[in-house]
Structure 1
């Protein structure tokens, strides 16, 4: 007779992918700005609002308050906040920080944007 080994361990599930990508470069710049402000409770809030030449535009601000509908992401000691409405338009996007010949700025690469304006700060979903 042969014995059959059975594995009764619980199945392992992968964690869901993050709602968006927050690059090391962006996280480092946010940390630098938070350190300059001297307030470790500050978090970077990324949002989408109506306006701009393409219909919607991106916005960035620092915030100490986390709302009930906010999605939070942490990287390298800083926290990114996205409200539920904005998350619909930012899901799968990459938030990066570029410092090159065109200047220093946060940049959003958004796969949901079908049209963007020349400056890159507004889009059409």
Structure 2
């Protein structure tokens, strides 16, 4: 051939039969190989890093308030004083309040346990006018004894000699004037023992001794 190139007859026939398929120059093939090598570098998934950081931030934002709230509740529980069923709850005189000789108001308290018992009885009888009457009379094995009864104030209202005390949840205690002078500052409790359950007066000022039944006591009078 005029070009001086030695081409075999088979290649010459193939070139003549499909002239569009020309061999790529060596330089183009090299460039193609170089680009393929460049794109086959290891793929680093850097786009995952922001998502992971955001997940950690969301978890921290959610967990931190819960931890703070739990810690605050724990500190509040530990700081708050523990309550007991026998803790006295002051009552207010709503009828015929009386005062001592020094001008201090006379008061009695009702324990949590006694208040709950009175509420239960009133709810069972469906009678919001139910009141616990406490009175003291001479007698018993130690000079004085206190008596208790449940009065329906709608049928047996308090008189001018009675002082009516009322608790926060509507519990009522009625004490006559002479008994209140001895019971001023005491607490009405409710005890549950093997021999039975009963209302009981504790913390009577000036009481020096009492009998086993708890209803009879000695008192030091000024």
Select which of 210, 214, 218 maps to 1:116: 210
TM-score w.r.t. structure 1 length? 0.77
Higher relative contact order (CA 8 A, sep 6+): 1
The residue matched to 2:207 in structure 1 has which SS? Answer: coil
**Contact 1:90 1:112 (8 Å CA) reproduced:** no
Give 5+ residue unaligned stretches, structure 1.
Answer: 1-15
Aligned match of 2:57: none
| Larger fraction in strand | 1
TM-score w.r.t. structure 2 length? 0.46
Could you give the per-residue CA deviations for residues 19-52 of structure 1, whole angstroms, max 9, x where no partner exists? 1111121111112122223322221111111221
The residue matched to 1:29 in structure 2 has which SS? Answer: helix
Greater mean deviation of Cα atoms: 77-86 or 108-117: 108-117
Runs of 4 or more off by more than 3 Å in structure 1? 100-103
**Contact 1:20 1:92 (8 Å CA) reproduced:** yes
| Larger fraction in helix | 2
Separation of aligned partners in 2, 1:24 and 1:18: 20
Give 5+ residue unaligned stretches, structure 2.
Answer: 1-103
Aligned match of 1:95: 188
Aligned-residue Cα RMSD (Å) equals 1.8
The alignment status of 1:79 with 2:172, answered yes or no, reads yes
The alignment status of 1:107 with 2:200, answered yes or no, reads yes
Aligned residues: 110
Separation of aligned partners in 1, 2:106 and 2:138: 25
Instruction: Spell out the pairing of 1:1-125 with structure 2 (5 A cutoff).
Output: 19-63=107-151, 64=153, 65-75=157-167, 76-101=169-194, 103-109=196-202, 110-125=204-219
